[in-house]
């Protein structure tokens, strides 16, 4: 699967972020998702770490 805006291939964790934060059918890479949500990529990476620590199976250590 690729990003709906920039066509970058999506990682497992990016798909997880979309599942958590992007209700739209178009899946976005972390850069485009951050832009859409009006947050920094760093913030999304921190959220990813939090979900990993919480044991969420939609995320994995890369």
Which residues contact Zn ion by CB under 5 A? 3, 5-6, 29, 32
What's the closest the beta carbon of residue 54 comes to Zn ion, in angstroms?
26
What's the closest the beta carbon of residue 50 comes to Zn ion, in angstroms?
22
- Residue closer to Zn ion (CB basis): 32 or 44: 32
The one-character DSSP state at 25 is: S
On the CB side of 37, how many CA atoms lie within 13 Å of its CA? 21
- Residue closer to Zn ion (CB basis): 14 or 51: 14
Contacts of 1 (CB under 8 A, 6+ apart): 9, 10, 15, 27
């Amino acid at each position: 699967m690729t990003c709906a805006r920039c066509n970058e291939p999506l990682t497992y964790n990016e798909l997880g972020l979309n599942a958590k934060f992007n209700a739209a059918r178009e899946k976005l890479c972390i850069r485009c998702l951050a832009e859409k949500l009006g947050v920094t990529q760093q913030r999304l990476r921190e959220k990813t770490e939090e979900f990993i620590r919480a044991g969420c199976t939609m995320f994995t250590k890369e």
